Amino acid sequence: MAGKTVTACLLIIGNEILSGRTQDINLNFLAKALNELGVRMTEARVIPDIEATIVDTVNEVRTKFDHVFTTGGIGPTHDDITAVCIAKAFGTEVMLHPEIEARIRKREATPEIIESRLLMARVPTGATLIDNPTGGPQGFQMGNVYVMAGVPMVMQAMVGALTKERLGGADPVRSRTIGAYLGESQVAKELGILQDKHPDVDIGSYPFYRETGYGTNLVIRGTDEAELDLLKEDLRALIIGMDAEAHDDGI
Amino acid sequence: MAGKTVTACLLIIGNEILSGRTQDINLNFLAKALNELGVRMTEARVIPDIEATIVDTVNEVRTKFDHVFTTGGIGPTHDDITAVCIAKAFGTEVMLHPEIEARIRKREATPEIIESRLLMARVPTGATLIDNPTGGPQGFQMGNVYVMAGVPMVMQAMVGALTKERLGGADPVRSRTIGAYLGESQVAKELGILQDKHPDVDIGSYPFYRETGYGTNLVIRGTDEAELDLLKEDLRALIIGMDAEAHDDGI
């Protein structure tokens, strides 16, 4: 696509996603939120709570992408190893962040609970905080790696603290959708021709099978809104030319 | 964990997942289905519809894991490039699979539509079919790579055609869950001690924040059901010892 692209990779850290216990919804939320900040999610990985895997994966993707976001593993229990892993990936140690520590010590609790909570104050030396306006656990940024919670409500609060400026975001991608009760095979050839004509736009075709019938939604994505509008009219003409009805915003 | 572990990596191929247009539900379904077949999903990646990325990723993960499953990109349009990419990854070409071709030619359609549909008959030379009992598109197996549809209904039908024998599956992982209105910090230390005592069991703790209050679900996973039952009683005692109620199957 045209213009500068700022890329991101999401690392979802958690056995509970890989076992099927938990349905991830963070990827979808973050993909949309990052796009509004001008950052494109280009890859995502789900990896287990294993130190060597986390360290190696972080070190691989932080050089391949402009930004890396992680979710999960920042709580106070034995399987919350993300902070330590990020520190290892950057060749440094964890320290207690004074701001988080002060917040934790303000809440009354037994010494044993405070000791456990302080595990959530660990950040790699040199990290800066990602604020959590809800007052829960804090995320942190180390280099181009943004470490966030796995619990969706907490993760979403942290994403709200990120800005286009902080991420050096470019233009967001915009989309147009048009649908028809036509099989993909009926439009496949013409779509390929239109895709060749518009290399800066990404044309996707998504078949569906519903009680109302089977059909296809066509989604065009790009940063140039005028081009999207023109191309959408080409798609409308293609659908109408096949004696089908064109459904704006898809079916 | 004890015993032989058969590992799998899922590759979700599709710009629509990375853009946030579509919420993936295939990972969750496949994780649970594979576990029943004795195969453990150990990693998953979401990658875009870019040939070089798909080829390189397939070649990386097919040596790292016992099995690789892919979803998406097997339709008849320009962005359906999975079959060609798998062929390239294995250093071979695509061919029209005679069985799929015969099925397609049986359905009446214009020559142009048949030409598009035949794109769905392409498999790498040497591939075997993954049957789709619903009569829709067919998946295929090339070496240890299983190529399936992205549309959940179609993907699920294909998974139904896989067997423990075909995948060489081992023992499925079983789980027990117990929940309490206790913060993670309150149980963190004891959980760590129990985890050290049971290295073959994976103890996960998952905090939640709901209208009814905040609390933690504890999930233990392993292949030895007797050990899981014993450990669950240890967790129950831990919860009750903190003057909380233990909720079987979680909250």
Reported ipTM: the value is 0.92
Final residue of a domain: which of A167, A191, A208? A167
Specify whether the backbone of A129 is left (phi greater than 0), alpha (psi in -120 to 50) or beta: beta
Instruction: Report how many domains make up chain A.
Output: 2
Which residues on A lie below 8 Å from B29 (Cβ)?
20
Question: Hey, which residues 7-26 in chain B have their CB within 8 Å of chain A?
Answer: 15-25
Determine the structural domain holding residue A226 and report its residue range: 174-248
Q: Does B242 touch chain A (CB under 8 A)?
A: no
Same domain, B105 and B201: no
* Residue among B20, B136, B151 whose CB faces A31 most closely: B20
Distances (CA, A) of B157 to A124, B2, B26, B30: 46, 31, 12, 11
* Predicted local distance difference test score (pLDDT) of residue B160: 94
Whether residues A219 and B117 touch (CB distance < 8 A) is answered with: no
Chain A nearest C-alpha distance from B77 (Å): 5
Same domain, A107 and A188: no
* Predicted local distance difference test score (pLDDT) of residue B3: 61
Averaged pLDDT of chain A: 94
Same domain, A129 and A234: no
Question: Hey, which residues 90-109 in chain B have their CB within 8 Å of chain A?
Answer: 109
Q: Does B76 touch chain A (CB under 8 A)?
A: yes
Same domain, A58 and A127: yes
* Residue among B20, B208, B209 whose CB faces A35 most closely: B20
Chain B nearest C-alpha distance from A226 (Å): 20
Q: pTM higher than 0.90, yes or no?
A: yes
Per residue of chain B (251 residues), give pLDDT as tens: 446 899 999 999 999 999 999 999 999 999 999 999 999 999 999 999 999 999 999 999 999 999 999 999 998 998 899 999 999 999 999 999 999 999 999 989 999 899 999 999 999 999 999 988 887 788 999 999 999 999 999 999 999 999 999 999 999 999 999 999 999 999 999 999 999 999 999 999 999 988 888 899 999 999 999 999 999 999 999 999 999 999 999 99
pLDDT > 70 fraction of chain B, expressed in percent and rounded = 99
Same domain, B128 and B243: no
**Neighbouring C-beta atoms of residue B36, cutoff 10 Å:** 12
Q: Does B41 touch chain A (CB under 8 A)?
A: yes
Chain A nearest C-alpha distance from B6 (Å): 14
Same domain, A43 and A116: yes
Which residues on A lie below 8 Å from B195 (Cβ)?
78-79
Report yes or no on B1 lying in a domain.
Answer: no
Report yes or no on A2 lying in a domain.
Answer: no
pLDDT-flagged residues of chain A (< 50): 1-2
Same domain, A88 and A120: yes
What is the distance between the alpha carbons of residues B251 and B247, in angstroms, rounded to a whole number? Answer: 6
Q: What is the CATH number of the domain that holds B229?
A: 3.30.70.1130
Report yes or no on A98 lying in a domain.
Answer: yes
Report yes or no on A178 lying in a domain.
Answer: yes
Chain A nearest C-alpha distance from B128 (Å): 24
Taking each helix axis as running N to C, give the angle between helix A152-159 and helix A26-36, from 0 to 180 degrees, rounded to the nearest 10. Answer: 10
Strand partners, B140: B129, B147
Report yes or no on A224 lying in a domain.
Answer: yes
Q: Does A241 touch chain B (CB under 8 A)?
A: no
**Neighbouring C-beta atoms of residue B94, cutoff 10 Å:** 18
Report yes or no on B139 lying in a domain.
Answer: yes
What is the DSSP track for B185-213? HHHHHHHHHHHHH-TTSEEEEEEEEETTE
Query: Residue B10's closest CA among A53, A55, B170, B25?
Result: B25
Which residues on A lie below 8 Å from B188 (Cβ)?
75-78, 116, 119
Same domain, B238 and B160: no
Instruction: Find the helix or strand (DSSP H, E) in which A15 lies.
Output: helix A15-18
Which residues on B lie below 8 Å from A109 (Cβ)?
185
Same domain, B29 and B48: yes
* Predicted local distance difference test score (pLDDT) of residue B146: 98
- Unique residue bearing structure tokens 């280009």: A42
* Residue among B41, B186, B204 whose CB faces A113 most closely: B186
Q: What is the CATH number of the domain that holds B157?
A: 3.40.980.10
Same domain, B55 and B163: yes
Interface test with A, best of B110, B159, B184 (most A CBs within 10 A): B184
Final residue of a domain: which of B107, B139, B167? B167
Report yes or no on A1 lying in a domain.
Answer: no
DSSP one-letter code for A53: H
Contact A200, A224 (CB under 8 A): yes
Same domain, B227 and B138: no
Question: Hey, which residues 135-174 in chain A have their CB within 8 Å of chain B?
Answer: 136, 151, 153-154, 173
Same domain, B106 and B35: yes
What is the distance between the alpha carbons of residues A159 and A161, in angstroms, rounded to a whole number? Answer: 5
Final residue of a domain: which of B142, B167, B192? B167
Report yes or no on B219 lying in a domain.
Answer: yes
